[in-house]
Structure 1
Amino acid sequence: MPHVEHTFTAEADKIAFSQKVIYGFGALANNLLGAAIGMMSIVLVTGLKMNPAVVGLLMALPRLTDALTDPLMGFISDHTRSRWGRRKPYIFFGAIFAGLIFALLWQLPSGYSESFYFWYFLLGSILFYLAYTVFATPWVALGYELTPDYHERTRLMGVTNFMGQFAWVGVPWLYAIMQNENLFSDPVEGARSVAIGIGIFVAIIGILPAIYCKERFQSSPEISDQKNDIKESFGEGLKRNVKDFLHGFAITIKFKPFLKLCVATFLVFNGFMLVSAFTSYVIIYYVFGGDQVLGAEYMGWSGTVSAISTFGVIVLVTKLSTRYSKRQLFFFSTGVSIFGFGLKWFCFTPSNPLLLLIPAPFIAFGLGGLFTLMSSMMADVCDLDELNTGERREGMYGSIFWWVVKLGMALALALSGILLNMTGFDIDLAGAQAEKTLFLMRIFDIAIPMVASAIAIWIIVTYDLDEDKANTVRQALEARRNAV
């Protein structure tokens, strides 16, 4: 990668390290909730004997409501005017309710039908994701506005992503904990206890950014001030807000730099997510011949190696961001992860199970680089949008960006169950799965994320919001604000 000349960050634009860490606690809460529900869903198959395709559908359906609730929450946050700011009240109460509902969601009673569990979990998940949205959407938006500096944004997102990765150290072990016969009578009982611990932890750390972080924009500039002076009835105000919401939504989804980031993230992240649960079955039924206890243990070690490697990737990418462009680093990190996925064909082998740990550090480059860089690039996009429209819409941009990610996650979870059924997998056969089944499981596990990541690289080739352009945008915005 050719070296790129960079500007230096002014002292006024720097964020105190303590503030970065506190904002990063929000990432830990956010990642823990999102990762835990996906990892714990395996209990619905192995503990309650639900059909994998039904479980995949159950994971996907609640996320469809995010198509409305995420952008709506982003719009509400962008247009909130309060003494506590636009973001912080929602972060505070959202974290508390998300943690509480998550704990209740997994208090699954024993001895009921698959239909009962489906509806219980579906309705509970919808409530959970509503609370999750109230917390996560304003928290993401807050990060986009904490600093106007091109490089400080990457450093902020590096610390944030670093903090968030602690969730991935623990989450791979959740199934091993729930499966532990010395602790619980069965995985379902284990899920009940684990969920309570996660819920309490999330409620405590999730409120910290709301208490200690500072907002740069207490209200949306210019246009929101004009609207505040309008005297109107409730019906007129509702009609105007709906119109404004639809107008802002339309502008957002048509903005090409934003769309490129969305699609690339969708492909890299959800290519990984599609096979994340799938990999569990490959490890248990191919590498360990159906031994769930030993498979769960190695899943935990593999996840831990991946998480620890991701810490190193985040530090490396953040450090290199002052020498190379964000786009160049995306090519590098995603390319290394493609190599890692390919290694799984050779390293996932029953003859030497320890080899399955080797691909993990390479695969870690994909997500480690992705969210450090994409979140920083999203903040640049928000500035460009303000220059074009006169409004700060971090909430709208962040909500749609993450909704696309979550939609892809929902599709990935749903498709993972369908793909598993397509391989001919039969839970009743345990370790006696057909040879063709195991072959197809391995092919899907490797090929899907490799192809998706390669397409993402091709898309970002045409992304042109580089450092020079971002600095020009910032200068124009500051000149406009000074004039006002």
Structure 2
Amino acid sequence: MTAYAIFNAVNNPLMGYLSDRTKSRWGRRIPFILFGTVPYALFFAALFLAPFNGADQPVALLIWFIAALFLFETLATVVQTAYYALLPEMFSEYHDRTSVAVRMNIFMTVGLIIGAALPISLASVLGWPWMGLLLGLISAAALLFAVRGMFERQSNLSAPEVPWWQSVKATFYNRSFLTIVFAQTMRHFATAVASSGLAFYTKYSLGADPASSSMILATIFIVATLALYPWKRFLANRLEARTTLLIAYALMGVSTIPLYLAQSLLAALLTAALMGTALAGLLLMGDVTLSDVIDEDETQTGQRREGMYFGMSGFVITFAYALSSLVFGWLSTAYGYDPLASAQPESVAEGFRIFMSIPPAVGSLLAFAALWFYPLHGARLKQVKALLQAKSASADLAQPQE
């Protein structure tokens, strides 16, 4: 898993860069979805089709999992990077992007809930190998069906090639990208804290059945799904992306604090609903703001580098999960948690209350502060949009008339 984490971090920008440089009659992104989807689904299934017994053949099983996981992750990354890169490509207007982002995130959160609950139930009936094959085929069918509605702008298909290191350096020199990706990393840090600490918090801090943590997590994502459209309707449609995102991070920072004070499962569920409301705003605006950054980059470089930006975003966000693990280890040890002990000291309850409330609140505060220096708003954002509209109009005039 350590080797996988390192590989995954490097894999994201590399696959994004590859899609930026691709030239084909299908475009830059669509070929990866067309030809990568079925192998991606098969390698997902291969994770559940191991032909070795771990007790008798541990080395062979290890090699199988390493090969299957690395191949699956490589193909999953290139397919997903190409897919997300099409958002700013297909939809250039702010309101179109927010409308699409609502639908994308509704499907994503529903998929997360189904993905958490369905596999174990399916495996108990069909067995793990058939479960892997079935879910792999369903995901492949969904992508191949959806690709019929995807398109790319012809003006971007002949973009000049840029050396790898120059492309990476240009991305990290972009102030708009750095502030947005830092804020997104803090969002992923908050969700990583919630997913990794909930069972411990539920058991030791609330004194409830650890299985109840799934109810809290489900409440967060269900409320987030339901709140996506109200966020768009009442905030995103009336405010700029940066302002909407600032409100979302402020709400997320405030919403985690009641977890420290909660004394019952009901109180935790109510707090989870508030966290879900905040999460909806973060999910809605994350890819929309990154799309604005890509637009700004085009005005500065003359290139569309969606793949590199989404890839580098994935690379940086990986560190959120490492940070969550480090904070978990530090706080749990500091408050006396011993995973080998059958009984824990009373201080453990306090430690997990702190873990679930203070780090996400601090992360949200840091994200809010970073966004305060995000330059792509107001007059600057209008200037970028005007330059792109002028460029698009010039490209249309340059096209040969039939």
Say whether the fold is shared (TM-score over 0.5): yes
* 2:98 aligned to which of 136, 154, 157: 154
Mark the CA change 1:277 to 1:96 in structure 2 (over 3 Å): closer, same or farther: farther
For the residue of structure 2 that corresponds to 1:84, the secondary structure is: coil
Runs (5+) with no aligned partner, structure 1 = 1-57, 225-240
Whole-Å separation in 1 of the counterparts to 2:258 and 2:333: 25
Match of 1:26 in 2: none
Does the 8 Å CA contact 1:313/1:365 hold for their aligned counterparts? yes
Q: Which amino acid aligns with 2:26?
A: W
Q: Of 5, 22, 28, which aligns to 1:86? A: 28
Contact in 2 for aligned 1:88/1:209 (Cα 8 Å): no
Among residues 254, 259, 265, which one is paired with 2:173 in the alignment?
Answer: 254
1:479 partnered with 2:395: no
By how many angstroms is 1:402 displaced? 2.1
Q: 2:100, 2:239 → 1: CA distance?
A: 17
Instruction: Identify if the C-alpha distance between structure 1 residues 211 and 403 changes in structure 2 by more than 3 Å, giving closer, same or farther.
Output: farther
Counterpart for residue 232 of structure 1: none
Which residue does the alignment assign to 1:304?
218
Query: Secondary structure of the equivalent of 1:457?
Result: helix
Could you tell me which residue of structure 1 aligns to residue 354 of structure 2? 443
State the 1:198 CA deviation.
3.4
The 3 A distance-change label for structure 1 pair 267 and 474 is: same
> 1:367 is matched with which residue?
279
Q: Give, as a single letter, the amino acid of the residue that structure 1 aligns with 2:104.
A: T
Query: Counterpart of 1:138?
Result: 82
Give the corresponding residue for 2:12: 70
One-letter amino acid of the structure 1 residue matched with residue 72 of structure 2 = F
**Residues 242 and 289, structure 2, Cα contact 8 Å, conserved in 1:** no
The answer (yes or no) to whether the contact 2:175–2:375 under 8 Å persists in 1 is no
Amino acid paired to 2:32? Y
What is the rounded CA distance, in whole Å, between the counterparts of 1:122 and 1:362 in structure 2?
Answer: 40
SS in structure 2 of the partner of residue 358 of structure 1: helix
Q: Does 1:405 align with 2:347?
A: no
- CA 1:82–1:449 in 2, change beyond 3 Å: closer, same or farther? same
Distance 1:62 1:422, change over 3 A: farther
Find 2:148's aligned residue among 184, 198, 211.
211
Deviations 1:313-354 (A, max 9, x none): 21122112121222221122222222221111232x4xx433
Matches within 5 A, 1:27-426: 58=1, 61-107=3-49, 109=53, 111=55, 121-173=65-117, 178=120, 184=124, 195-217=132-154, 219-221=156-158, 223-224=159-160, 244-288=163-207, 294-296=209-211, 298-319=212-233, 320-347=235-262, 349=263, 352-413=264-325, 416=328, 420=332, 423-426=335-338
**Segment drifting more, 111-120 vs 275-284:** 111-120
CA shift for structure 1 position 379: 1.3
The CA deviation string for residues 376-430 of structure 1, in whole angstroms up to 9 with x for no partner, is: 1111111111111111111111111122123323543566466555554444445
3-state DSSP of counterpart to 1:384: helix
Structure 2, gaps ≥5 residues long: none
CA contact (8 A) 2:123 2:131 kept: no
Write the letter of the residue equivalent to 1:266.
Answer: T
- For 2:246 and 2:326, the matched residues in 1 are separated by 29
Q: Is residue 98–residue 132 contact of structure 1 (8 Å, CA) maintained in 2?
A: yes
If the length of structure 2 is used for normalisation, what is the TM-score? 0.86
- The aligned counterpart of 1:45 is none
Q: What is the Cα deviation at residue 112 of structure 1?
A: 6.3
Matches of 2:129 and 2:201, distance apart in 1: 26
Task: State how far apart, in whole Å, the 2-side matches of 1:107 and 1:433 are.
Answer: 39
Given the superposition, is the C-alpha separation of residues 478 and 267 from structure 1 closer, same or farther in structure 2, using an over 3 Å criterion?
same
Range 306-315 or range 452-461, more displaced = 306-315
**Residues 342, 112 of structure 1: alpha-carbon distance in 2 compared, 3 angstrom cutoff:** farther
Moved more, 432-441 or 382-391: 432-441
**Given the superposition, is the C-alpha separation of residues 456 and 118 from structure 1 closer, same or farther in structure 2, using an over 3 Å criterion?**
farther
CA distance 1:325–1:275, change in 2 (3 Å): same
Distance 2:61 2:267 in 1: 38
In 1, distance between residues paired with 2:76 and 2:323?
19
Instruction: Give the letter aligned to residue 91 of structure 2.
Output: T
- The count of corresponding residues between Structure 1 and Structure 2 is 392
Residues in 2 aligned to 1:90 and 1:411: alpha-carbon distance in whole angstroms: 32
Q: Aligned equivalents of 1:317 and 1:166: distance in 2?
A: 18
Q: Distance in 2 between matches of 1:102 and 1:129?
A: 9
How far apart, in 1, do the equivalents of 2:334 and 2:57 lie?
A: 25
Measured on the aligned residues, the alpha-carbon RMSD in Å equals 3.1
Name the structure 2 match of 1:46. none
State how far apart, in whole Å, the 1-side matches of 2:136 and 2:334 are.
35
From the superposition, tell whether residues 457 and 305 of structure 1 become closer, same or farther in structure 2 (CA, over 3 Å): same
* Distance in structure 1 (CA, Å) of the matches to 2:325 and 2:48: 18
CA deviation digits over 1:142-165, x for unaligned, max 9?
112112212222222122112211
Give the whole-Å Cα distance in 2 for the aligned partners of 1:207 and 1:418: 45
Contact 2:219–2:269 (8 Å) recurs in 1: yes
1:134/1:467 Cα in 2 relative to 1: closer, same or farther (>3 Å)?
same
Counterpart-to-counterpart distance in 2, 1:332 and 1:411:
24
Deviations 1:343-375 (A, max 9, x none): 11232x4xx433321111111134321231121
Structure-2 change in CA distance of 1:183 and 1:107 (3 Å): closer
**Secondary structure class of the residue paired with 2:304:** coil
